[in-house]
Amino acid sequence: MKKNELVLKKRKVGSRNSSIPFRGWLVICVSLMTLFLSPILASLLHSLKTAKDSAMSPPTFLPPTFSLENYKSLVNSSTGVISNGIYLYIWNSVVLAVITVIGTLILSTLAGYGFARFNFKGKELFFAAILLMIMVPFQALLTPIYFLFSQTGLQNSLLGLGLIYITYQLPFSIFLMRNTFMVIPKALGEAALVDGCTQFKIFKTIMLPLARPGVISVALFAFFASWNEFIAALTMISVQEKYPLPVILTLLTDRQMGATNFGFLQAGVMVTMIPCIVLFLFLQKYYVSGLISGGVKS
Amino acid sequence: MKSTRNSSMAGVWFILPAMIFVLVFFIIPLIAVVVMSTTNFPLLGDVTYIGFQNYTDIFSDTEFHQTIIHTLVYTFLVTPPLFIVGLGTALLIRRTNKLSSFFRTFFFMPLVIGFGSAAFLWYWLLDPGTGYIPQLFREIGFGRMEKPILGYMPGALIAVILMVVWKFSSFQMILLMAGMQGIDPEVLESSEIDGAVKWKQLRYVTFPLIKRTLVMVFILSIAGSLLAFDQFFIMTGGGPEGQTQTMVFYIWRQAFRSFNLGYAAALSVVISIFLLLVSLIQLRYIDEKE
């Protein structure tokens, strides 16, 4: 037994992941990291070539000269493929994200709290509706939503699109907020209730600040959803001035003088994905905990 | 008694705003899609009730049948590599130390960039002239790679699957990692002392303990794949010759390119029922467990 323990100890010292030695583990992780990162790095390098170099076949890995030409063409609307500079489309995406994040936050914190704290008539019914929302694919409802929007003037409006995004963020966000509020002790609010506080005031001044990690996760996921969503944006918005970034990318593939300018397209890809990467790097903790709490435990 | 009634009303007020959104943007469209599916629904002109005509049309719509087959083949092919890469990376970095979380950050990066941007990125990577992937193949001696990979089968399908595995496997990684971190380390250690080989430990100790996570990972991945749209729309446009057209892609074309809204609604109902069944299987599995 003693010997056995010693062997076990030795293995632990020599390896962090007990099945393979540390050096092997490191090699595998570094290679995987390279595989995951290289497409992003390649796209970045390609976007930094001159228009001429980025059309070169075969391609060079590193830009022969580093240039912001492709980014300048994105900003400058006179290059033709898109009728406005990229700033307009960034603005559209930002507006969409603000609507989605704020709307999702208000609705899901309220509803999550309602679910976590109260019993009331209709609770099961609403719960069932939320479950049904998870099961029915929202792509299947694009046809009636498109029709309803065309009747009410919400077509071609960023607000209308934002309302769809808010609604379909709700199941995940409500579950996440419910799980967050459930672990906050009820007693914290009860004293205030005796003092004559309203339920809403308790929610706003006591519970919501305590639920901050959940709130950040919900906001983060609402941002990613609205920033990256493609099919509904493509469907509901048909005027170019209202396109958000993912949809404007479809126009960047258009041929100019016989060929797609891929450096230009990759500059567009970079503009679309860099905000996501930066936000993720800063708020990674909330991203991971949100995925786990909203996904696994719901 | 009074206080409970009070708080019960308060609960309603808290969920009411969300409820209104769900009613307007989910329940009403859900009813509308069923009603629309029983009509011919022209954009202009009168709507006529045509009963089950749209549904019987689906039976003879061979193009739709082809998209079902393609979607099923895609789902069948993309699920195992997604799971294997997700599980592999989860096993590699499940320990909570600095170096593991360093790598985790980078494994995660493709997950946060969105299917649209990822698809446009790979669309270029695969371009026969300026893309790095054909160039890589040329350099290791695969010939001239003049044919566009995305223009031929099975190249187009394989390329999309590779992109999706790159983009999405870390989603599975994080769920599996969370599941495994929930296991009592002593259970694993004792099975190690008993001399269980690594993969046997995985199969007979780890997997049964994270069964709920496993089911969820599979269902999420299967449901997501059955609804694939962005990656095929952007990377292959459904080609070559409609061979990579997915179900959602076809419904979308019927609705918003051919404007057969009634028929698209019927197709939507069919695909919803299909996915509802997939989710019900999940719920049953999870119920059984608890």
Domain regions of chain B by residue span = 62-118+150-289
Chain A contacts of B248, Cβ < 8 Å? 137, 139, 231
pLDDT at A255: 64
Cα dihedral A143, A145, A147, A149 sign: negative
Position B1 confidence tier, pLDDT thresholds 50, 70, 90:
very low
Average pLDDT over residues B84-107: 90
Position B195 confidence tier, pLDDT thresholds 50, 70, 90:
low
Q: Inform me whether the C-beta atom of residue B15 falls under 8 Å from chain A C-beta atoms.
A: yes
SS3 A82: coil
Sequence letter at residue B214? L
Q: Are B4 and B239 in contact (CB under 8 A)?
A: no
Q: Among A120, A146, A269, select the one facing B121 at the smallest CB separation.
A: A269
Of A252 and B185, more confident: A252
Low-confidence ranges of chain A (pLDDT < 70): 1-20, 78-80, 255-258, 294-298
d(CA A211, CA A204): 10
> Across all residues in chain B, what is the average pLDDT?
88
Q: Where are the domains of chain A?
A: 2-72, 79-296
Chain A contacts of B9, Cβ < 8 Å? 120
Q: Inform me whether the C-beta atom of residue B196 falls under 8 Å from chain A C-beta atoms.
A: no
Cα-based distances in Å from A231 to A244, A282, B14, B243, B249: 12, 28, 31, 20, 10
Chain A contacts of B103, Cβ < 8 Å? 29, 32-33
CB spacing of A137 vs B223 below 8 angstroms: yes
CB spacing of A37 vs B106 below 8 angstroms: yes
Q: Are B100 and B234 in contact (CB under 8 A)?
A: no
Q: Which of A235, A247, A242 is nearest to A149 (CA)?
A: A235
d(CA A198, CA B80): 53
Q: Which of A54, A76, A72 is nearest to A63 (CA)?
A: A54
Joined together, the tokens standing for residue A3 give 């010997």
d(CA A287, CA A293): 10
What residues 29-58 of chain B have any CB closer than 8 A to a CB of chain A?
Answer: 29-30, 32-33, 36, 41
pLDDT at A15: 40
Q: Inform me whether the C-beta atom of residue B160 falls under 8 Å from chain A C-beta atoms.
A: no
Q: Among B14, B130, B265, select the one facing A114 at the smallest CB separation.
A: B14
* Residue found by looking up tokens 């509020």 in the block: A181
pLDDT at A208: 92
d(CA A224, CA B110): 13
A10-24, A48-62, B33-47, B237-251: least confidently modelled range:
A10-24
- ipTM score for this prediction: 0.91
Q: Inform me whether the C-beta atom of residue B188 falls under 8 Å from chain A C-beta atoms.
A: no
- CA–CA min distance A78, chain B (Å): 23
Q: Among B107, B129, B216, select the one facing A57 at the smallest CB separation.
A: B129
pLDDT at A261: 84
How many other CB atoms are there within 10 angstroms of residue B237's CB atom?
15
3-state SS, one letter per residue, for B124-180? HHCCCCCCHHHHHHHHCCCCCCCCCHHHCCCHHHHHHHHHHHHHHHHHHHHHHHHHH
Q: What is the DSSP letter of B52?
A: T
Q: Inform me whether the C-beta atom of residue B183 falls under 8 Å from chain A C-beta atoms.
A: no
H-helix segments, chain A:
2-14, 22-47, 51-54, 69-75, 86-117, 123-135, 142-152, 158-182, 187-194, 199-202, 208-210, 212-228, 231-236, 245-252, 262-291
Q: Among A8, A39, A143, select the one facing B33 at the smallest CB separation.
A: A143
Chain A contacts of B8, Cβ < 8 Å? 118-121
Taking phi over 0 as left and psi of -120 to 50 as alpha, with beta for the rest, B242 belongs to left
Q: Are A28 and B99 in contact (CB under 8 A)?
A: no
d(CA B290, CA A101): 35
Chain A contacts of B216, Cβ < 8 Å? 295-296
* Chain B nearest-CA residue for A268: B117
Of B32 and B2, more confident: B32
- CA–CA min distance A284, chain B (Å): 8
State the DSSP string of B81-135: HHHHHHHHHHHHT-S-SHHHHHHHHHHHGGGGG-HHHHHHHHHHHT-TTT-HHHH
d(CA A201, CA A205): 6
- CA–CA min distance B83, chain A (Å): 15
- Reply yes or no on whether the pLDDT at B63 is more than 50: yes
Q: Inform me whether the C-beta atom of residue B157 falls under 8 Å from chain A C-beta atoms.
A: no
d(CA A29, CA A51): 35
H-helix segments, A48-153:
51-54, 69-75, 86-117, 123-135, 142-152
CB spacing of B14 vs A121 below 8 angstroms: no
Q: Phi, psi at residue B40, to the nearest 5°? A: -85, 135
d(CA A251, CA B231): 16
CB spacing of B27 vs A36 below 8 angstroms: no
Helix axes of A22-47 and B155-181: crossing angle, nearest 10 degrees: 130
Which of A136, A177, A288 is the mutation pick for testing B, counting most B CBs within 10 A?
A136
Which contiguous run of DSSP H or E holds residue A196?
none
CATH of domain B62-118+150-289: 1.10.3720.10
d(CA A20, CA A23): 8
pTM: 0.91
CB spacing of B116 vs A246 below 8 angstroms: yes
- Segment A136-191, tens digit of pLDDT: 999 999 999 999 999 899 999 999 999 999 999 999 999 999 999 999 988 888 88
d(CA A157, CA A154): 5
Average pLDDT over residues B196-218: 83
Q: Among B9, B18, B30, select the one facing A174 at the smallest CB separation.
A: B18
Burial B5-33 (b: 16+ CB within 10 A, else e): eeeeebbbebbebbbebbeebbeebbebb
Chain A contacts of B174, Cβ < 8 Å? 288, 291-292
- Segment B208-228, tens digit of pLDDT: 888 888 888 988 899 999 999
Percent of chain B with pLDDT strictly greater than 90: 58
Q: Which of B249, B31, B211, B233 is nearest to B116 (CA)?
A: B233
* Chain B nearest-CA residue for A35: B166
pLDDT at B5: 45
Average pLDDT over residues B138-160: 88
CB spacing of A29 vs B8 below 8 angstroms: no
Q: Among B25, B112, B272, select the one facing A140 at the smallest CB separation.
A: B272
Q: Inform me whether the C-beta atom of residue B223 falls under 8 Å from chain A C-beta atoms.
A: yes
Alpha-carbon B119 to chain mean position:
15
CB spacing of B120 vs A265 below 8 angstroms: yes
Angle at A53 between CA A48 and CA A55, to 5 degrees: 105
Chain B contacts of A39, Cβ < 8 Å? 110, 121-122, 125, 166
**Domain A79-296 is found in CATH 3.20.20.480:** no
Q: Inform me whether the C-beta atom of residue B248 falls under 8 Å from chain A C-beta atoms.
A: yes
- Reply yes or no on whether the pLDDT at B45 is more than 80: no
* Chain B nearest-CA residue for A36: B107
